[in-house]
Amino acid sequence: MKHLMILICVITINIQTSMAQETQKDRFTTGQGELIINFVKHASLYFEFDGKVIHIDPVARMGNYESYPDADLIIITHHHGDHLDLNAIESVRKENTKVILTEKCKELSENLSDYIIMKNGDVLTINGLEIEAVPAYNIEHKRPNGDPFHMKGEGNGYIITFAEKRIYIAGDTENTDEMKLLKNIDIVFLPMNLPYTMTPEMVADAAKSFRPKVLYPYHYGDTDTSILVELLKKESGIEVRIRKMELQ
């Protein structure tokens, strides 16, 4: 009976671990192999490509980072607590993991070492991936004191090139002029929650400007994603995909 109880416990733990590791996935074919996008929650996701794992804004309350694969690269868009979480970073960090973040993130993360700071407009090649930092900031939405929720120059979006596919993770931003000038974006993640980022109308406006092939709204809180689908249903060439990236 004792051995049976131990066996049951082991099986239960394995099942729980398997469930914890499970994420919704989308797969894309590239000239350099398969690209897998894993959707965690809110603004947290990770990519698997060419034997590498790239985590975006890992935050422990969004997912069980103890059970997710270790990162070769971690990318942080900005310093707010739903994007920057040192505990989650340490959960997936290994000896040679590179961490990209902003200057403001570093100011608030005194114990973080071995990092790479990227500023708006910087372009670097890291682990064989070209990465471009795009400005991410508010145009209209502001705090009661008049300050934008996201100040210009403090946050980044990132364009990551996986083989020939260019993926843009916008971070917390609105439909800025810099965003509208982007070209050749295959896949985009655009934030859509109020009052902090974009309305569905702003997301649709941005998408019509630079015309990504696939658009994922993310960081969308309780915003009705069907509004965006309706706004873009007549736009040929832009596929809107809804995944579970809301906060629950």
**Structure tokens given for 15:** 């099942």
The closest alpha carbon to 213, from 166, 164, 156, belongs to 166
Using only the alpha carbons of the chain, give its radius of gyration.
19
Which pLDDT score, from 0 to 100, does residue 13 have? Answer: 38
SS3 state at 63:
coil
Distance between CA 149 and CA 29 in Å, rounded?
Answer: 37
Distance between CA 11 and CA 13 in Å, rounded?
Answer: 5
**Structure tokens given for 57:** 């804004």
**Model pTM score:** 0.90
Q: In what order do the strands lie in the sheet with 115-117?
A: 24-30, 33-41, 44-49, 52-56, 71-75, 93-101, 115-117
Which pLDDT score, from 0 to 100, does residue 248 have? Answer: 57
- Beta strand pairing call for 239-240 and 33-41: unpaired
> Where do the domains of the chain lie, and which CATH numbers do they carry?
25-240 (3.60.15.10)
Q: In what order do the strands lie in the sheet with 129-136?
A: 123-126, 129-136, 155-162, 165-169, 187-191, 214-218, 239-240
**Bridge partners, 98 (sequence order):** 73
Q: Count CB neighbours of 168 within 10 A.
A: 22
Which pLDDT score, from 0 to 100, does residue 110 have? Answer: 79
Which pLDDT score, from 0 to 100, does residue 21 have? Answer: 52
Residues (pLDDT < 70) of the chain are 1-21, 248
